[in-house]
Amino acid sequence: MAGLLRRYRIGQLTGRRRRAVVPRITLFVRPECHLCHDAESMLLRSFRRREIEIVDVMSSLELENRYILRVPVIAVDGQELAEGQITMADMQSIRRALVQTRDGKLSL
């Protein structure tokens, strides 16, 4: 019986459904940026199941002013975690940050 109960989440045992919180990964890029293409490829290989939003910083003057010299920039739930030449070590840091995400907020 105990083994059967362990297969259910607490929300299912109490009759309430809990929705899984999936953090949003945002990649800020600009056209014809080889570092941006590399970062996008790394993200797609590392986080296939997660929702990845790719934002062209040239789409708005505000984004252009903020990110043009820093792209690519990777943010998780709005918090910038990596920029410039993205490495596998950066991907591991992002993965650790995603594991630490609770209640839809990043707790680093």
All structural domains of the chain, each given as residue ranges with its CATH number in brackets, are 21-99 (3.40.30.10)
Q: What's the CA gap between 66 and 28, in Å, rounded?
A: 10
- pLDDT grade for 30, boundaries at 50, 70 and 90: very high
User: Tell me: the pLDDT tens digits for 74-89?
Assistant: 998 889 999 999 999 9
pLDDT of residue 102: 52
Residue 29, pLDDT above cutoff 50 = yes
pLDDT of residue 100: 76
Cβ atoms of 45 and 90 within 8 Å: the answer is: no
Cβ atoms of 73 and 46 within 8 Å: the answer is: no
- Name the residue among 20, 94, 89, 31 with its Cα closest to residue 58: 31
pLDDT of residue 97: 83
